[in-house]
Every structure is written in C-alpha cells, then in structure tokens.
Structure 1
Amino acid sequence: MSHVVKFAALQLTKSWDLDNNLAKAKAAIRDAAANGANVIVPQELFAAPYFCKKQEAKYFELAEETENCRLIQEMSALAKELGVVIPVSYFEKAGNTFFNSLVMIDADGRVLENYRKSHIPDGPGYSEKYYFSPGDTGFKVWQTRFGKFGVGICWDQWFPELARSLALNGAEAIFYPTAIGSEPQDPTLDSRDHWQRTMQGHSAANLVPVIAANRTGVEVDDGIETTFYGSSFITDHTGAKLAEAPRNEEAIIYAEIDLQATAKARHAWGLFRDRRPDLYTSVGKLAV
C-alpha cells in the first residue's frame, strides 16, 4: 500500500508592488496544481520584500490580524478551488504584539492553527528581533488531507530540536519557508551549502522528507542590498536531494514522495526506538 504525495516549492522574486506579489504567487500555485502538486510551499513572508533588513517603524503597517489577513483569505479560497494544501507565512499583528507567523491551509480551504516563529534572529541585514516577538504557540504539526506536516520558519531551520520535536509529534514531512541570502557585514560569506546541509541533516536524522522554499533575486531597501540565493530544494527521508532550484532564477520544483514507504523506513531504522531521553536533560537548559 502506498501514499504518494506530490510536493512543490515556490521560488519567486518580490517587489513593493504588493498586488503583483500576490498575483504572482497565485499564478505559481495554479501552475503547480496544474502539474499535479498536492502540497505547495511558498517562501517566508512572501507578500512583500524582506523588510527586516533594517529597523524601520513604517514596516509595522504591513502586519495584519490573522482573522482579517487578505493574504490568508486569498490563499484559503485558492486552496479550496484547487484542492491543495498551502502553508502561508505572514506578518501577524496581535494587539500590540507582532509575530512572524504561518497558518496551514487545508485542501478544503480551512485555515488550521496558527504557528508563530520560535527562533528570532538578529544581525546585520536580518533585524527580526525589532519586528517580531518570539512565538508563544509551541511547535505545530497539522493533520491535512494529504498527510501530517510540520513547519519551521527560516531561522527555525537551524535548530535540530525543532525538527526532532516535529518528527516525534508525527510529522510525515517538514516544510521550511525561508528568506536567506548574502550577509551585508561580510560579502565573502556564502552560507548556501551550510544552510542546505543543515536541513538535509534534520531530514536524515529523523527520516522525514524536507521541503525548503527560499526567495531569489536582489532586494535593495533602506540602503541595504541583499542577494537571496534561491536554491530551494526537496529531500527524501534520507536527506538526499530529489529536486533543487537554481540560485538566480524563479522556479517551481517538484518531488513525488511515498509517505507510507518513508514511514516504514523510519520505523525500521530504529532511531526513535533507541532514543534515550533520560540522557538529554541538558538540551532543555540554556546553560549547563
């Protein structure tokens, strides 16, 4: 018995024409669905350019409440029309607090529980702590029409604890919507391969496929230029890449994965059987 799901990851450029960004994302999702994709993963904060390059109060105007978010409403209608699952990353306003958030939209258009990004980075060109509070939802795994899926948003992807927690909670695949590229303080630093290997390691260590969707192109805002390095990819349950997008081009990538076969391999390998939680107490402490 098999359970084959076709996954797609979107890799698009962004501009300050927000209506065009939405139209482009919807067109790409339609293309992916027309090519048989069941689950379509857009990038992190795909409604706009990556505005966190610098601390600017004007960008708080981009945030919306979950219940009134135009992006979520449009994606919900599209998911229902096409019968696809879409994890939607957005800038959330909750009273006087702001989060980097994501809702999973099921294939019938239902908006499932909200996830708020747990790990918030702060550094040159990535000033997210100015905009976002650390998430208070805990990690999320959603049951959808096509399977049980978990998510880590961008910086979350560097933490093995998140991937392991999602796998322990039943995730059959993990999605990583992302916005990552050049480092303004060091033009010689290229973390693309390190970034990929980190998620490939999470995949291999948990025997769970990974779908990573990054943006591409050059964005210049408030005097800071960032070249996003694309390279979105999809792995099998051993961390091997099944599909990969180029660095500098828009793309939609696809992979068909038998989730029943991956579950069988995960159970047979014994990684979860042989865990020793009694020895891992230091993982739950900031300092040892």
Structure 2
Amino acid sequence: MAKRTLKVAAIQASFGPDMAGNIAKVEKLVRHAAKGGAQVILPPELFQGIYFPTRQDPKWFATAYPAREHPVVKAMQALAEKLKVVIPVSFFEKDGPRHYNSVAIADAGGEILGLYRKSHIPDGPGYQEKYYFRPGDTGFKAWRTRLGTIGAGICWDQWYPEAARAMVLEGAEILLYPSAIGSEPYDATLDTHRQWQRAMQGHAVSNAVPVVAANRIGLEENDGASQRFYGHSFIADHRGEIVADLGETEEGVAAHSFDLDEIASYRADWGFFRDRRPDLYAKSLG
C-alpha cells in the first residue's frame, strides 16, 4: 500500500491596505509553495488588508463580505482549483448583521468545504477584536479534503489546548493556525514569539499531530495605532520539534512533508487518546 504523505506550507508576508495587492502577493507565494510540492498551503490571518483591530473604527465593517462573495475567498478558491492544492482562507465575514473572523476551506478541486469561525476573541491593547467579531458558532471541525484531513483554528485559538484536542478528536491529521501576532503596544520590547511557538508545540506533542502556524511581518499603521508583527512562522512535527520556520522579517514559505500513516501509528502507540478521562474532566471544566 502506498504511503499517505502530505506536504504542508506556511506563508509569511507583510500586508498593506490594498486588498488586490495583498491577494496578488499571496497568490505568488502560494504558486511558489505549490511549485515546491506543497499540497496544503496556509496564508496568515486576515491578509485582505492591514490588521485593523488595533483600534476601533466602524469604517472597517465595509470590508466584510459574505463568504462566497469575498474577494480573497474567490481568488484563493480559483487558485486552489487551478493548482490542485488546499488553501484555508482567512477573511472578514459578514453574515447578515453579524460579523466573524473566519476561515473558508478551499479544497484541491476548488470547492469550499465550509467555514470555521474564530471561537476565542481577544480584547486588549492592539487586539481589539471584540468590537468587530462575534464569537464563532461553528465549533471545532476536521475537514476531509481530497489530500488529507485538516483542522483550522485562528490566532488566539492557538493558545487553547481544548481547541487542538477537539480538532484531533474530530479526525484532524494536521492543525493549521493563520495568525496576526506581534509586539504589545504597551511594551514594544516585549517579544512573545517563543511562548507563542511553545504553546503550539505543546499541542503537537500532546495530540501527536503536526502543527502549522502562518504569521504576518512588518510595521502596520492604522490611523495612529501601530503594530509590528514578528513573523517566526513555523511547522512543528508530531513530536513538537520545529522542522521548518522563517525569521522575524523575511517573506517566504516554510514547508515540510509528513507521512500520515506513520504519524497515526505513533499517535496510537502513545495512548493519549486511549487514556483520556472525559468523565472526570466534566466535573471541573465549564
């Protein structure tokens, strides 16, 4: 029987206010990743423009669209079909009067398999997302694409072990987190990228699953509010080792190939899922 292998990639780039320019940049990097053999390719969070939640301004609601009408979703859907790759597409979603920070899963045939809406919404200096986004109502999912089964969270979700565990319980073989994270406005010298990476490396270890994180880079200005994004996009294997990464300022692609059957055997051997006690967890979680 042929091995089930999957090559995944994280895109890292800077973005500005021009949506068409940002789409063109991501398309170029997706093509580059696909040319190198990547089959599941992850762009960063909300790459449609600057990361606007650095401040509260109602003008940004005009940049939200229904999923199937959003310019970035339509562009990535067409690219996924042409290149025969899977692209989890982060975008600002409008659903009637409701707004979400969402991911649309574009399968390798161009189909949109569905949506994940960000569950954990941060609210603090530089990350004022509760003004813009309702908490997601989709729950955590595993998407059975043509190339493998993937789970997708969004940025702040990546700090929560429950989210990672839920996706793997649903059958996810790879976890993907589009992100927008950088310096803290109250302390520009504070660099949390190691904590950020270690949190997800922990998810990789305790679920025996590879993890892919794609972040932005560069300084972005938003009518007096500024944020510098620290990059360090990476891929961790099912043992938590970082097997591909990028630096603080470089645009590009990090990619790695995994043997999904070997990982499934490793996961079963370690017994993490065999020895779970949800009957006891329910007594203290809630």
TM-score range, shorter chain: over 0.9
Partner residue in 2 for 1:54: 55
C-alpha distance in structure 2 between counterparts of 1:210 and 1:162, whole Å: 13
User: In the alignment, residue 69 of structure 1 is paired with which amino acid?
Assistant: H
What do the CA deviations read for 1:202-231 (whole angstroms, capped 9, x no partner)?
A: 010000000000011111112122110000
Partner residue in 2 for 1:160: 161
Q: Do 2:45 and 2:180's aligned partners in 1 also have CA atoms closer than 8 Å?
A: yes
Q: How far off is 1:187 after superposition?
A: 2.1
User: In the alignment, residue 103 of structure 1 is paired with which amino acid?
Assistant: A
Q: How far off is 1:3 after superposition?
A: 1.2
Partner residue in 1 for 2:273: 272
What do the CA deviations read for 1:81-135 (whole angstroms, capped 9, x no partner)?
A: 0000000000000111100001111100000111110000000010000000000
User: In the alignment, residue 178 of structure 1 is paired with which amino acid?
Assistant: S
Partner residue in 2 for 1:36: 37
Q: How far off is 1:50 after superposition?
A: 0.3
* Unmatched segments (≥5 aa) in structure 1: none
Q: How far off is 1:47 after superposition?
A: 1.1
Count of residues paired in the alignment? 285
C-alpha distance in structure 2 between counterparts of 1:51 and 1:282, whole Å: 40
C-alpha distance in structure 2 between counterparts of 1:119 and 1:283, whole Å: 20
Q: Percent identity?
A: 52
Kindly tell me: are residues 66 and 283 of structure 1, through their superposed partners in 2, closer, same or farther at Cα, counting changes over 3 Å? farther
Q: Do 1:217 and 1:249's aligned partners in 2 also have CA atoms closer than 8 Å?
A: no
Partner residue in 1 for 2:8: 7
2:142 equivalent to 1:141: yes
What do the CA deviations read for 1:168-218 (whole angstroms, capped 9, x no partner)?
A: 111001000000000001223211100000000001000000000001111
User: In the alignment, residue 264 of structure 1 is paired with which amino acid?
Assistant: S
- TM-score, normalising length from structure 1? 0.97
Q: Do 1:204 and 1:237's aligned partners in 2 also have CA atoms closer than 8 Å?
A: yes
* Unmatched segments (≥5 aa) in structure 2: none
C-alpha distance in structure 1 between counterparts of 2:81 and 2:19, whole Å: 23
- Which 4+ runs in 1 deviate beyond 4 A? none
Kindly tell me: are residues 283 and 86 of structure 1, through their superposed partners in 2, closer, same or farther at Cα, counting changes over 3 Å? farther
For 1:21, what is the secondary structure of its paired residue? helix
Correspondences of 1:125-274 after superposition (within 5 Å) = 125-274=126-275
C-alpha distance in structure 2 between counterparts of 1:201 and 1:38, whole Å: 24
Q: How far off is 1:284 after superposition?
A: 3.4
Q: How far off is 1:241 after superposition?
A: 0.4
Kindly tell me: are residues 153 and 283 of structure 1, through their superposed partners in 2, closer, same or farther at Cα, counting changes over 3 Å? farther
C-alpha distance in structure 1 between counterparts of 2:141 and 2:6, whole Å: 20
User: In the alignment, residue 12 of structure 2 is paired with which amino acid?
Assistant: Q
